[in-house]
Structure 1
Amino acid sequence: MGRGKIQIRRIENATNRQVTFSKRRGGLLKKAHELAILCDVQLGLIIFSSTGKMFEYCNPPSGYQIYCELTMMKNENDKLLASMRQITGEDLNALTLNDLHQLEQQLEISFNKVRDRKNELLQQQIDNLLHKISEHQGAVMEHSKVMGPVPSMLEQIQYGFYPSEENVKNVDIFPTKNTLQLSPQFPPHFVCSRLSPTFRKPISSTTHCNFDETGELGEQEKLINW
């Protein structure tokens, strides 16, 4: 009698399910090996059981493949290290004259690229500074248009102007000796007239004053020509 057709669905019995997995797993690995040999293909197979156990198959073997990749990476790393030592001038003994000439040309090209990049960054910084200066000058001009001309310190002293609260820390309220010397000189009688409550005409040269015995001016002799 031939085998009956098996319905493809999950096996409920855990023991039967494990037995079936072991048999089918072996057959799957065998088929993968045959496929890799007969058809000359690279094949990899990874199987995880219900308990989390892993089974794998690789053609060519994974260990050999990893070894080849590590060897290739090591060779590349050695070449890069040798090139770095040559660029820094630490290992030039193994280089011929042609090699040194090529290395010199490469360094010149690299130097030009670095210098061009540096100049580009410097120019960008200069442009940014010029832009900020232009904005600041524009703001100062707008502020001067709104606020009007600012009187000088000498004008503030002469006309009784005082610094604002914002500038009181930066402006000296009392002028220095040199500043006082620069102020205009006025006649003495002008200053007295400004300081005295009333201004009186000085006594003329024709005024006659007679003193009595007590040193006081006599009432009859107080003749003052105004």
Structure 2
Amino acid sequence: MVRTKIEIKKIDNLTARQVTFSKRRRGLFKKAQELSTLCDVDIGLIVFSATGKLCHYSNSNMEEVITRHSMHIEKVECVEHQPSPSLQRESITYAGLAKEFTEKSRELRQLNGEDLQELGMAELIKLEKMVEGGLSRIMRKKGDILLSEINALKKKEAKLMEENAQLKQRSEIGVQGGPPYSSESVTNGCCLFPDKLQDHYKSSDTSLKLGLPFPD
């Protein structure tokens, strides 16, 4: 069966793209390992996936390969033209930053539980202590935030209780003062004018007749 030639272009399907990246990455690293073994050369490969994940391979030490690469660039520039002191400082800075970037990337992956196969017991214990230290700092920060929120709620509760006590005191003062016309004053008023009340009841017709009306 004749194998069809795959057209080299971007794969639109995201799943197929990820599968192809994983397979071809392993194949690329395998070819690099074979080339370094057969030809006794130093190789360093750095690949960033579409999701931003860093993948790299080196047959010796990635930091040394990057440093040699930086030094080679400096030598080429020296041959072509004499670099300025500022460019030399930038090249040295670049090499240092590249080395620091590689170290920090590896440290971050190890903190996430990746690339642990090359670590010994002492390095694993050190990594474990770093993770425990980070967790303890997170717990302390969380406790400080919770304590601050509790104190704020207590202050709010005390303020509400104070306002409630003031409202209760005002209501008690109003009850003790009494309304302008209490039931007692109305009763006294009725007792002071009994004659007028009797005249009022006499003048009003309050009789009630029951039964059917008689015929005329």
Structure with max Cα Rg: 1
TM-score over 0.5 for the pair:
no
If the length of structure 2 is used for normalisation, what is the TM-score?
Answer: 0.41
TM-score by length of 1: 0.39
Higher relative contact order (CA 8 A, sep 6+): 2
